[in-house]
């Protein structure tokens, strides 16, 4: 895989466009040591960033939940995001804003550390390859679980939470699976490593209650799309046994979009009519 640090282009960093290869941080950066950075994942379609305000506001909330308010307002960050997409010539691509405590103070309370913000973008057509939305992907259940809200703020998209996903994904990749099913601490179905989960049960959509994981922006968009198509949608606790009985399963996320699942452990699912309808409706919406 190509080194993401070695490219042409620009990254917006602390208020200005910096040449891509010079956008660096020091090894004693607080955020690198303690896993407290907050970030976003956005997608541009035809040069336009989908749900830019929702993502920028979630970045702000994440930083506040991690106790370091951002030094830029939402309008400034939105303009910066649009500028970085434009100067890098991105039409369809991924955008990664990130905020972190710097190297000015390595103590845990980091009272002397500055809050830094950067925004990068690159082209990233499909997480699991071009055909994945048609054929579906395979998940394996991991023994690592999502956190309880007393461990970290679950509404924050913060780096520490992602350690679970990294561990789980490295194990599942070795076993030949594309992603993981992550349960909560009580054994209920939570989500995948970077996307929320829905199941179809006798024509009705059910998705887990988002109290141990990120309540995705795409999750909300898909709930609205589904209701607009006349489908019933409910948020409920889902056991593994119930998931096994589901007619269809799919994932939702900014990067994943609507991603059908064709297997979890040894249980196969069809890429069914409702999943296919929502894949198409989501594509029509983001490109509309």
Q: Which residues are catalytic?
A: 157
**Structure tokens that stand for 60 in this block:** 């702000």
Q: Three-state DSSP class for 48?
A: strand
CA nearest neighbour of 11 among 91, 98, 70, 74: 98
Question: Which range binds ligand PMP by CB under 6 A, 16-24, 167-175, 194-202, 233-241?
Answer: 194-202
Cβ nearer to ligand PMP, comparing 38 with 117 = 38
Is residue 196 at the binding interface for ligand PMP, with CB under 6 A as the rule?
Answer: yes
Is residue 195 at the binding interface for ligand PMP, with CB under 6 A as the rule?
Answer: yes
Cβ nearer to ligand PMP, comparing 113 with 251 = 251
What is the smallest separation between the CB atom of 163 and ligand PMP, expressed in angstroms? 12
144, with CB counted inside 10 A (0-12, 13-18, 19+), is middle
Residues 48-67 that bind ligand PMP (CB under 6 A): none
> How far apart (Å, rounded) are the C-alpha atoms in residues 274 and 129?
21
178, with CB counted inside 10 A (0-12, 13-18, 19+), is buried
Q: What is the DSSP letter of 43?
A: E
Question: Taking a C-beta distance cutoff of 8 angstroms, is the pair 58, 51 a contact?
Answer: no
What is the smallest separation between the CB atom of 196 and ligand PMP, expressed in angstroms? 5
Number of residues interacting with ligand PMP: please give it, by CB under 6 A. Answer: 14
Question: Which range binds ligand PMP by CB under 6 A, 28-36, 62-70, 147-155, 211-219?
Answer: 211-219
Q: Which of 179, 184, 191, 257 binds ligand PMP (CB under 6 A)?
A: 191
Q: Which of 93, 97, 136, 194 binds ligand PMP (CB under 6 A)?
A: 194
What is the smallest separation between the CB atom of 165 and ligand PMP, expressed in angstroms? 6
Residue 9 phi/psi, 5-degree rounding, is 115, -165
> How far apart (Å, rounded) are the C-alpha atoms in residues 12 and 22?
11
**Structure tokens that stand for 104 in this block:** 């000015």
Is residue 254 at the binding interface for ligand PMP, with CB under 6 A as the rule?
Answer: yes
What is the smallest separation between the CB atom of 106 and ligand PMP, expressed in angstroms? 27
> How far apart (Å, rounded) are the C-alpha atoms in residues 75 and 173?
39
Question: Taking a C-beta distance cutoff of 8 angstroms, is the pair 35, 163 a contact?
Answer: yes
Question: Which range binds ligand PMP by CB under 6 A, 72-80, 108-116, 120-128, 248-256?
Answer: 248-256
CA nearest neighbour of 126 among 43, 182, 196: 43
What is the smallest separation between the CB atom of 171 and ligand PMP, expressed in angstroms? 16
What is the smallest separation between the CB atom of 183 and ligand PMP, expressed in angstroms? 14
Question: Taking a C-beta distance cutoff of 8 angstroms, is the pair 67, 136 a contact?
Answer: no
Q: Which of 95, 118, 199, 214 binds ligand PMP (CB under 6 A)?
A: 214
Q: What is the DSSP letter of 158?
A: B
Is residue 41 at the binding interface for ligand PMP, with CB under 6 A as the rule?
Answer: yes
Comparing every residue's Cβ against ligand PMP, the nearest one is 216
Chain residues in the site for ligand PMP (CB under 6 A): 41, 191, 194-196, 213-214, 216-219, 252-254
């Amino acid at each position: 895989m190509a080194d993401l640090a070695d490219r042409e282009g620009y990254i917006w960093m602390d208020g200005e466009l910096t040449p891509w290869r010079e956008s660096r941080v020091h090894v004693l950066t607080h955020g690198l040591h303690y896993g407290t950075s907050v970030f976003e994942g956005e997608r541009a379609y035809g040069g336009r960033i989908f749900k830019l305000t929702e993502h920028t506001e979630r970045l702000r909330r994440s930083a506040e939940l991690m106790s370091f308010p951002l030094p830029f307002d939402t309008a400034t960050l939105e303009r910066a995001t649009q500028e970085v997409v434009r100067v890098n010539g991105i039409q369809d691509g991924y955008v990664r804003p990130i905020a972190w405590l710097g190297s000015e103070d390595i103590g845990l309370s980091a009272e002397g550390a500055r809050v830094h913000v950067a925004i990068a973008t690159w082209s990233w057509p499909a997480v699991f390859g071009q055909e994945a939305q048609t054929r579906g992907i395979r998940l394996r259940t991991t023994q690592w679980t999502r956190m309880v809200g007393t461990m970290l703020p679950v509404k924050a998209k913060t780096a520490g939470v992602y350690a679970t996903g990294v561990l789980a994904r490295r194990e599942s990749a070795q076993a030949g699976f594309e992603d993981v099913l992550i349960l909560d601490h009580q054994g209920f179905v939570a989500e995948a490593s970077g996307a929320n989960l829905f199941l179809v049960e006798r024509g009705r959509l059910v998705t887990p209650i988002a109290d141990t994981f990120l309540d995705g922006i795409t999750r909300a968009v898909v709930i609205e799309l589904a209701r607009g198509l006349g489908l019933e949608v409910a948020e409920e606790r889902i056991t593994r046994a119930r998931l096994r009985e589901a007619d269809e399963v799919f994932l939702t996320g900014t990067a994943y979009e609507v991603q059908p699942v064709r297997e979890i452990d040894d249980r196969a699912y069809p890429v069914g009519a409702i999943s296919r309808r929502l894949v198409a409706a989501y594509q029509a919406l983001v490109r509309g």
